[in-house]
Amino acid sequence: MVPERGKNMFDVTKLEWTREPASYVLGAGRIEIVTEPHTDLWQRTYYHFRNDNAPVLQMRTRERYFSFVVRTEFESRRRFDQCGVAVYLDSENWLKASVEYGDGAFQHLGSVVTNHGYSDWAMTEIDASVRSLWYRLSRREQDFCVECSRDGLHFSQMRVCHLWDAVDEIAFGVYACSPEESSFRAVFTDLEMTDCRWPAHDGQPPDEEELPGNGCPAGGEKRSDL
Three-state secondary structure call for residue 218: coil
**pLDDT score at 28:** 85
What pLDDT does 219 receive?
41
The answer to whether 161 touches 139, Cβ cutoff 8 Å, is no
Measured between alpha carbons, how far is 34 from 21 in angstroms, rounded to an integer? Answer: 8
pLDDT tens digits along 42-59: 999 999 999 999 999 999
DSSP conformation letters of 42-89 = EESTTT--EEE---EEEEEE--SEEEEEEEEEE---STT-EEEEEEEE
Ranges of the chain with pLDDT below 70: 1-7, 211-226
| Cα(196)–Cα(86) distance, integer angstroms | 17
- pLDDT given at position 2: 42
Count of CA atoms in the C-beta half-sphere (13 A) of 97? 27
* Cβ-Cβ contacts under 8 Å for 57 (sequence gap 6 or more): 15, 16, 17, 18, 26, 31, 33, 173, 174, 175
Q: What is the pLDDT of residue 11?
A: 87
pTM above 0.85, yes or no: yes
Q: What is the DSSP letter of 207?
A: P
Domains defined along the chain, listed by start: 12-199 (2.60.120.200)
% of residues, the chain, pLDDT over 90: 84
Question: Burial level of 97, CB count in 10 A (0-12/13-18/19+)?
Answer: buried
